[in-house]
Amino acid sequence: MADWMFDRRGRAALIVDGGCFRSGRGTVVAWISGDNAYSLGGRHVGWFENGVLYDSQNRALGFLRDATGYLPARPGTAGSPGMPGFGGTPGRPGLSGVPGRPGYGGWSPADLATYFDDG
């Protein structure tokens, strides 16, 4: 089941849909494998653990409404917009290895809605 992910300001910005992340328009922008997040090309770009997405420096990018993972602070959340229609899912590439994980940081300076845009 798809669910909205909220950014550090509590705004719905990204969709978690099973084994992938989707943009607010419904297109696949990244992959989930275990507790790891990968770009569309298969490069490791962060961690997704207990409903919280962390960037490559282990700083919080966003969270699901029912997340239990570490957050530096939990903002109030706005209402969730309706779900967009979803297009097909592209073929999944081979995924890179997982780097060592640093300790938790604060909030990431990156924007959740555009974090995966560089592929």
Per-residue pLDDT at 119 exceeds 70 = no
Structure confidence by residue, pLDDT tens digits, 54-75: 999 999 999 999 999 999 999 9
β-pair partners for 118: none
Structure confidence by residue, pLDDT tens digits, 32-51: 999 999 999 999 999 999 99
Overall pTM > 0.75: yes
Per-residue pLDDT at 79 exceeds 90 = no
Per-residue pLDDT at 113 exceeds 90 = yes
C-alpha torsion angle, residues 63, 34, 27, 25 (rounded to 10): -10
